[in-house]
Amino acid sequence: MAQKVNVLVVDDSALIRKLVAEILLKESFIGSVETASDPIFARQKMEKQWPDVLVLDVEMPRMDGITFLRQLMHEKPIPVIIFSALTEKGAETSFQALTAGAFDVLTKPKIDIKETVGKMGAELIDAVQAAGAVDHHSLKAHHEASLLSRQNPQTVVSPIKLSRTTEKVVAIGTSAGGTQALLEVLSRLTPDCPGIAVVQHMPEQFTASFAERLNSMCSIEVREAKNMDRMERGLALIARGNKHMRLKMSGAMYHVEVVDGPHVSRHRPSVNVLFRSFAKQAGSNSLGIIMTGMGDDGAAGLLEMKESGAKTIAQDKDSCIVFGMPREAINRGAADTILPLLDIPNQIMRFGQI
């Protein structure tokens, strides 16, 4: 029998605390739900019982959620789900929390709170259940590794200088834990790497800021994808939130299409949509990489890439925050190679030079 998940909800709204607790307590996998109005009170409760999952607001009195999150990540990391109203200021603040190690971000409703929270109950339940399955030891190891890499980055060195035209293209799909994993990979690439398209499950309010942050930390160019952007060497395109991204070959050039469409594998953007387009448009000229994330998005698409002649990689269990997506791909036989996170950049560079 699976262990019950104990949750602590930290929010200055009494109504939100009540509604979230009511939603979660209906689920059989929940052991207990405690609540606190701010991080100071939360800390007092955590001294008595350390929760398995924290549902955390950002803007609160006495101490903001980001400060509290950073304290926890340094002291004793646990899966934290940010539950925040995404105003412009709130979006930036919540993004900072995401990059500081938050497990997931959910949008807190601004109007008709009671009705809207009820409707998004399934999303909240899924996030808490996935977070409750995370190995806390992996969280700590991941956090420490990311800090070390920022202090002493080991960029892949390549002497080759080429034009920006790319004949080889790379597709990367990731979800929970992916913000840090992408930084670890992209910051180790040099400007002669093959063109890269990335789907990271993330709300649309965050993807432009996320791309800008990555761009400031990498020697390659990173930006949010726009429709018909060319795939070029030294460029990583991040899929826009709430839009699918597909590869398209036009003449001798690869472009990306940014399109609407229904959710696929419960997501938009969907990793499966990206990978399937690479299988159809690039085949053996492509490399597919599936990294840390919950669920199974990307597993079917990676298998299609492999069957089209593409090379495929899955991140290994030990370096994943959440092994769900890579595990599903491995179980389906979609991965040619299973690698630790920090071995992936070298494989990207080698693929671009074949």
CATH 3.40.50.180 fits 151-353, yes or no: yes
Report the Cα–Cα distance between both ends of the chain, in Å, rounded.
49
- 297 classed as catalytic: yes
Q: pLDDT higher for 45 or 73?
A: 45
The span from the CA of 71 to the CA of 255, in Å, is 42
- 263 classed as catalytic: no
- Domain limits, the chain: 5-134, 151-353
Task: Give which of 295, 285, 204, 299 is closest to 245, Cα–Cα.
Answer: 204
- 209 classed as catalytic: no
Q: Which of 142, 143, 201, 255 is catalytic?
A: 201
- pLDDT-derived band at 91 (thresholds 50, 70, 90) equals low
Q: Which of 297, 308, 316, 319 is catalytic?
A: 297
pTM of the model: 0.77
Q: Which of 94, 175, 277, 319 is catalytic?
A: 175
8 Å CB contact between 214 and 222: yes
CB atoms within 10 A of CB 107: 19
In this predicted model, what pLDDT tens digit does every residue of 215-259 receive, in sequence order?
A: 999 999 999 999 999 999 999 999 999 999 999 998 889 999 999
3-state helix vs strand vs coil in the chain, percent to 5 = 40, 20, 35
In this predicted model, what pLDDT tens digit does every residue of 287-343 receive, in sequence order?
A: 999 999 878 999 999 999 999 999 999 999 999 888 889 999 999 999 999 999 999
Q: Please check whether the two domains, 5-134 and 151-353, share a CATH topology.
A: yes
Helix (H) or strand (E) holding 80: strand 80-84
Q: Which CATH architecture has domain 5-134?
A: 3-Layer(aba) Sandwich (3.40)
- pLDDT-derived band at 118 (thresholds 50, 70, 90) equals low
8 Å CB contact between 55 and 47: no
